[in-house]
Structure 1
């Protein structure tokens, strides 16, 4: 038996402490993600916005495992490995897609774009509409001036039917469509407009679409309004009109409130298509996140999803090509 002396014991305890602190830090994050911390009472800023960083935390989750191995703490390394696997299980499936339902109805093309206070390039938006040929376009942060600019550029000639609620600042949103729209009540009725409308596709399939834009959960009032806005969105049923939610949700698949919305009859189009990790915001000096989504009625199949840069905006546009149930 070797007598390590007091300094040897101190070194051993120090190495154990470092290993377990590293593993514990990632472990706490994993627990918060798995239990859905953003839906728990008393959990607000900064926990709610930080959960959006889970893919980055998962990407470096082997760091504490390597640290524990270097410090010769096998139990800590084993626990760290379990944490890394748990985080990987929550993130990696988004890159591989999901099984699709057998949908044989008409096709529906949906485009959504946050305009960054109406500053997105009119020419580039019109070009994107021409290339993707959406049946319905959801726009967020649409100002009255931007409505006039996009009209002059030819947006309404391409998509003549509208449900508009333009506002100054970030609160305005709108739907532009190829087919006549019947306006429905805004589901949230708050400071952030979320226009909703119904239309009928050739063949008689009815579609109910909402332009989504709850406030960002970056303040205590913002978290409360974000939760209220997501909860107010209509559920998709197993019968009746096909429902689509398209816009800037200010939420990722790592938010329990967003996943609860999916549990009400929706699928994330990008997640189904294997594009769930493609960032849609924050590519200009921020941390890129996937907060813009097209949510589709689970009865619909997703043919493809593409993400497009939009000059003048801090968001990227999301296009989804869907096949609806017959």
Structure 2
């Protein structure tokens, strides 16, 4: 009978386990300590939910093989679960009778299918829409597709990236006085006896300049408030410290509020499904989330987010 010494094989597997868990350990430490604010560590942080799933699988495999690295994998998996699970638990308050249906979409420099967008706006009965990366040609395309008849009140800012469209009259329109890479478009809507400020958001991306990206998100804190709705392409997820800072300023992420903790919106233009949630609808304490959903549109690499909010 031939006796096979499996110890060398186990040593290799053990070594691979420790090496494979090293970057996961770094990510977990960065996430817990909030060390990704304004630096390149923000890039891998966007995929933390996927890393968490992978860590759980690795922990099980290492446990079955009875390798010591299984303990580290189990601890890392547990920490990630503790961090991520709360966003899948609905926490919304009681919804009042006055509702607002809002939407946001990044048009990919005006390449979005204008007719499909207008039809979706009509079908979803939107009150307010924010469109990012909308140049003058994109504004004209939406007008030609019939947007003016659906959302006739408009704060058009093609020179500043984002425009706001509304079924209800707008007031106080303009650009946010903040040091963001692109000016953020703002306007107010009077509804239910209250003045709700809308901020069409498009921040810089962490790939190009993580420091500027963090400054953009930090600048938005200055307008956080009870009757404020921020909607747009934040280029950030719930696992980014800069984005959580905005939530700490009093804003509520509608997806997380309703237990939709992972609703990827990008990239939406390839054969691979979206894996990162960059597009959000945030609101202040004066409103509560009722529903939220994502919709695919041709011509853009972002999914459109539609949310129904109620005045609290």
Fold match by TM threshold 0.5: yes
Q: Report Cα offsets for 1:166-196 as digits up to 9, x if no partner.
A: 03xxx61101112222214424354423101
Aligned mate of 1:257, from 242, 246, 249: 242
Measure the CA separation in 1 of the matches of 2:141 and 2:10. Answer: 68
Contact 1:165–1:193 (Cα < 8 Å) also in 2: no
**Which residues of structure 1 form unaligned runs of 5+?**
1-6
What is the aligned partner in structure 1 of residue 24 from structure 2? 26
Measure the CA separation in 1 of the matches of 2:111 and 2:267. Answer: 16
What is the aligned partner in structure 2 of residue 110 from structure 1? 102
SS of the residue corresponding to residue 61 of structure 1 reads helix
Moved more, 116-125 or 296-305: 296-305
Deviation at 1:72, TM superposition (A): 2.9
- Does residue 72 of the first structure (1) align with residue 66 of the second (2)? yes
Measure the CA separation in 2 of the matches of 1:256 and 1:117. Answer: 28
Structure 1 segment 118-137 matched on structure 2, within 5 A: 118-137=110-129
SS of the residue corresponding to residue 16 of structure 2 reads helix
What is the aligned partner in structure 2 of residue 148 from structure 1? 140
Moved more, 306-315 or 77-86: 77-86
Contact 1:306–1:320 (Cα < 8 Å) also in 2: yes
Measure the CA separation in 1 of the matches of 2:6 and 2:298. Answer: 60
What is the aligned partner in structure 2 of residue 55 from structure 1? 49
What is the aligned partner in structure 1 of residue 297 from structure 2? 310
Deviation at 1:33, TM superposition (A): 1.4
What is the aligned partner in structure 1 of residue 151 from structure 2? 159
Distance 1:156 1:8, change over 3 A: closer
Deviation at 1:19, TM superposition (A): 3.1
What is the aligned partner in structure 1 of residue 75 from structure 2? 82
Contact 2:91–2:259 (Cα < 8 Å) also in 1: no
SS of the residue corresponding to residue 37 of structure 1 reads coil
Moved more, 244-253 or 290-299: 290-299
What is the aligned partner in structure 2 of residue 37 from structure 1? 35
Measure the CA separation in 1 of the matches of 2:81 and 2:127. Answer: 36
Measure the CA separation in 1 of the matches of 2:175 and 2:144. Answer: 28
Moved more, 24-33 or 208-217: 24-33
SS of the residue corresponding to residue 271 of structure 1 reads helix
Measure the CA separation in 2 of the matches of 1:218 and 1:21. Answer: 26
Alignment coverage as a number of residue pairs: 304
What is the aligned partner in structure 2 of residue 237 from structure 1? 225
Contact 1:187–1:196 (Cα < 8 Å) also in 2: no
Structure 1 segment 261-272 matched on structure 2, within 5 A: 261-272=246-257
**Which residues of structure 2 form unaligned runs of 5+?**
none
What is the aligned partner in structure 2 of residue 4 from structure 1? none
Contact 1:22–1:64 (Cα < 8 Å) also in 2: no
Q: Report Cα offsets for 1:209-245 as digits up to 9, x if no partner.
A: 10000111103xx21221111111134335xxx1000
Contact 1:188–1:228 (Cα < 8 Å) also in 2: no
**CA RMSD in angstroms, aligned pairs only:** 2.2
Contact 2:186–2:198 (Cα < 8 Å) also in 1: yes
Measure the CA separation in 2 of the matches of 1:17 and 1:119. Answer: 49
Contact 1:214–1:250 (Cα < 8 Å) also in 2: yes
Contact 2:95–2:289 (Cα < 8 Å) also in 1: no
Q: Report Cα offsets for 1:152-177 as digits up to 9, x if no partner.
A: 1111221111112103xxx6110111
Measure the CA separation in 2 of the matches of 1:101 and 1:299. Answer: 11
What is the aligned partner in structure 2 of residue 197 from structure 1? 187
Measure the CA separation in 2 of the matches of 1:16 and 1:149. Answer: 59
Q: TM-score, normalised by structure 1?
A: 0.86
Measure the CA separation in 2 of the matches of 1:66 and 1:291. Answer: 30
Measure the CA separation in 1 of the matches of 2:71 and 2:16. Answer: 15
